[in-house]
């Protein structure tokens, strides 16, 4: 028996387009001698379809698309695809998250998802009911009948000792153990977060050890709104040996032929699972994973929303430099318009740094000075304010002038505006509504400033050469540049301004923010541990809370952490300052 792992990049809601992808991969797999093709969770719909699942017309379309796909599928080939299974009656929610087996001329449901995540960015209980039994598919091949355990994404995430928690409910792995499957198949749509590829391997290794059989894990790839799916599909055996590893952040198809089962019977589910050895096949370095995912996220957000070109403000600082590099890799340098918008407070060095970066990347760039516009705003506001704008008002006006110019270029030229703020700034409100927050996509809005520095140092190192070259960037020499990487961060909105005039040093700030955002800890907890100054802890927390109204109006951002601002962050705007 030959299995094909089809790591596809679906467009949410495009059932016909996704079916065409599935058919193409099936034809390629059949030509290579595959018997059964495995695809990601909800591969016919794209994940997450959200409220598109509530549209009766799309549910009806699913049946027509499946019939057409079955009619064209190569003979003697099976295709496991993710779809929805309507539930008869008026009970809500009225769907199962399911898997169908499609063969030439027919299709049938063979599995339903047991565990439905409704945490972070997931909201599956809004749409689905859980399945109520273990799913085993018998499949003939190589002169025998193979027993294939079927699970869908979260059904694999049952190892509390690995992940620290698990959803209440069934343990699909334990229930399958008594049925002694020859293989466990997991159809997934698992979005990227830093550290998650390693965690998936550990979870699959634990399941393989418990069942005494290999685990075939097939993940979706591609960006869908704020989520980026990194692919990285694999096969792992009970000894935690990775037998197949598909690439990160790329569409891929790979074949694998399992050997007949030679392992001892699966460990009874009632006993403690065995310890986890480390996988033998290394994953890409964390910084490379992160960079490739950000590039894919920008590429797919633009492509799937109908944009071929982007525009961004280039200041000479590290944040906009990183976004420019990501955009150039995602779309090609000729599709990225860089705008330099110096004010009287912009240093000559920053302007030169911005131009040098654009030249290294081959970006078209233009300069529009804003001093005259600042004067016009001051003149218009003097009668209202009793004088020219001062302090923070004057600084924010500069940012809003730039934001307006960028939006004008985006509108006139049909470009997507990329905002360049980082997570640290967004967390504490060190950003301007209708100014530097303008944009259709926040590229690094889930990267703390210290992570921005680490990623830029990696990009300029020899370790990044192969990745850079693979993504169409210069393979040698600096991209960001040592001058940009080492200069003190500054918004340059007043003479000699530094970020540290208003904020703690980022090496102090970011660990506090991680504790408050990722771990949901309180200032009192951190203070009680004695590792942080009480005044600083309370000040940072207060900044985080009072900036909530800004984040509610921010552009969508690419989620790359365990907890990002956006769909998985549901804090109230009006609440006590230390709640």
Question: β-pairing, 136-141 with 144-152?
Answer: antiparallel
> Quick one: DSSP state of residue 113?
-
- Of the candidates 124, 135, 153, 431, the residue annotated as catalytic is 153
| Averaged pLDDT for residues 266-283 | 53
Is the pLDDT at 273 greater than 80? The verdict is no
Order across the sheet with 215-219: list the strands: 136-141, 144-152, 183-188, 215-219, 234-236, 242-245
Q: Is the dihedral of CA 237, 242, 244, 250 positive or negative?
A: positive
From CA 113, how far away is CA 115, in angstroms rounded?
6
153 is known as an active-site residue: yes
What percentage of residues in the chain have a pLDDT greater than 70? 96
Q: What tens digit of pLDDT does each residue of 53-92 get?
A: 999 999 999 999 999 999 999 999 999 999 999 999 888 9
Is the pLDDT at 538 greater than 60? The verdict is yes
Q: What tens digit of pLDDT does each residue of 125-153 get?
A: 999 999 999 999 999 987 899 999 999 99
Is the pLDDT at 284 greater than 60? The verdict is yes
At 535 the pLDDT is: 94
- From the CA atom positions of the chain, what is the Rg in Å? 26
Bond from prior residue into 48 cis (ω within 30 degrees of 0): yes
At 266 the pLDDT is: 44
Structure tokens at 354: 């911005």
| Mean residue pLDDT across the chain | 94
Residue closest to 246 by CA, chosen among 195, 200, 182, 213: 200
Residue 263 φ/ψ, nearest 5 degrees = -85, 165
Residue in the structure block whose two tokens are 């420019």 = 324
From CA 297, how far away is CA 90, in angstroms rounded?
38
At 142 the pLDDT is: 76
Is the pLDDT at 279 greater than 80? The verdict is no
Alpha-carbon dihedral angle through residues 7, 36, 4, 253, given to the nearest 10 degrees: -50
Residue closest to 320 by CA, chosen among 481, 511, 513, 553: 481
Domain ranges of the chain: 3-258, 289-499
From CA 209, how far away is CA 54, in angstroms rounded?
39
Answer with the residue of higher pLDDT: 271 or 333.
333
CB atoms within 10 A of CB 430: 21
113 is known as an active-site residue: yes
- Of the candidates 24, 76, 91, 113, the residue annotated as catalytic is 113
At 491 the pLDDT is: 86
At 516 the pLDDT is: 97
Structure tokens at 370: 């804003």
3-class secondary structure, 15: helix
**DSSP states along 163-222:** HS---SS--HHHHHHTT--SEEEEEE--B--TTHHHHHHHHHHHHHHHHTS-EEEEE-EE
From CA 561, how far away is CA 535, in angstroms rounded?
27
Whether 468 and 479 have beta carbons less than 8 Å apart is answered as yes
Residue closest to 46 by CA, chosen among 4, 78, 83: 83
Band of residue 164 on the pLDDT scale cut at 50, 70, 90? confident
From CA 39, how far away is CA 212, in angstroms rounded?
23
At 277 the pLDDT is: 53
CATH of 3-258, one of 2.40.110.10, 3.50.50.60, 3.60.110.10, 3.40.50.720: 3.60.110.10
Tell me the sheet residues that pair with 441: 418
- Of the candidates 41, 124, 154, 425, the residue annotated as catalytic is 41
Is the pLDDT at 428 greater than 70? The verdict is yes
Residue 321, H or E segment: helix 318-331
CATH of 289-499, one of 3.30.420.40, 3.10.20.30, 3.30.230.70, 3.40.50.620: 3.40.50.620
């Amino acid at each position: 028996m030959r299995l094909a792992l089809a790591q596809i990049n679906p467009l949410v809601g495009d059932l016909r387009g996704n079916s065409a992808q599935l058919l193409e991969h099936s034809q390629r797999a059949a030509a290579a001698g595959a018997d059964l093709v495995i695809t990601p969770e909800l591969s016919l719909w794209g994940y997450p379809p959200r409220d598109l699942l509530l549209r009766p017309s799309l549910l009806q379309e699913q049946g027509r698309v499946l019939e057409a796909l079955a009619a064209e599928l190569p003979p003697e080939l099976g295709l496991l695809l993710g779809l929805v299974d309507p539930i008869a009656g008026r009970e809500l929610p009225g769907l199962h998250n399911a898997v169908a087996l499609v063969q030439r001329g027919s299709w049938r449901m063979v599995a339903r998802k047991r565990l439905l995540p409704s945490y972070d960015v997931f909201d599956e209980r809004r749409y689905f009911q859980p399945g109520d039994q273990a799913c085993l598919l018998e499949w003939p091949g190589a002169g025998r009948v193979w027993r294939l355990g079927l699970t869908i994404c979260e059904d694999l995430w049952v190892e509390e000792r690995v992940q620290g928690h698990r959803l209440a409910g069934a343990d699909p792995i334990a229930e399958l153990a008594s049925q002694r499957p020859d293989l466990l198949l997991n159809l997934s749509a698992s979005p990227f977060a830093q550290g998650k590829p390693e965690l998936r391997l550990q979870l699959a290794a634990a399941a393989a050890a418990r069942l005494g059989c290999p685990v075939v894990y097939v993940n979706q790839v591609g960006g869908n709104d704020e989520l980026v799916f990194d692919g990285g599909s694999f096969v792992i055996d009970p000894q935690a040996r990775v037998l197949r590893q598909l690439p990160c952040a790329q569409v891929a198809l790979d074949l694998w032929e399992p050997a007949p089962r030679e392992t001892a019977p699966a460990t009874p589910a009632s006993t403690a699972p065995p310890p986890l050895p480390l996988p033998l096949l290394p994953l890409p370095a964390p910084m490379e994973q992160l960079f490739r995912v950000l590039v894919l996220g920008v590429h797919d957000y633009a492509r799937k929303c109908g944009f071929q070109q982007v525009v961004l403000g280039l200041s000479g600082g590290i944040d906009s430099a990183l976004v420019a590099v990501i955009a150039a890799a995602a779309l090609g340098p000729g599709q990225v318009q860089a705008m330099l918008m110096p004010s009287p407070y912009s240093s000559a060095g920053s302007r030169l740094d911005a131009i040098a970066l654009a030249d290294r990347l081959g970006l078209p760039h233009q300069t529009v000075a804003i001093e005259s516009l600042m004067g016009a705003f001051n003149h218009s506001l003097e009668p209202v304010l009793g004088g020219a704008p001062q302090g923070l008002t004057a600084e924010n006006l500069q940012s809003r002038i730039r934001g307006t110019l960028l939006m004008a270029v985006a509108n006139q030229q049909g470009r997507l505006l990329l905002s360049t703020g980082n997570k640290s700034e967004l967390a504490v409100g060190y950003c301007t509504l209708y100014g530097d927050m303008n944009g259709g996509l926040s590229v690094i809005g889930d990267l703390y400033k210290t992570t921005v520095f680490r990623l830029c140092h990696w990009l300029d190192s020899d370790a990044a050469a192969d990745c850079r070259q693979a993504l169409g960037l210069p393979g040698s020499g600096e991209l960001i540049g040592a001058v940009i990487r080492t200069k003190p961060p500054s918004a340059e909105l007043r003479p000699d301004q530094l970020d540290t005039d208003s904020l703690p040093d980022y090496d102090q700030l970011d660990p506090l923010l991680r504790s408050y955002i990722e771990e949901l800890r309180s200032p009192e907890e951190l203070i009680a541990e004695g590792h942080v100054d009480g005044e600083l802890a309370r000040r940072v927390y207060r900044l985080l809370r009072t900036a909530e109204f800004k984040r509610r109006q921010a552009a969508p951002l690419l989620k790359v952490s365990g907890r990002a601002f956006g769909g998985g962050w549901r804090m109230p705007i009006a609440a006590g300052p230390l709640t």
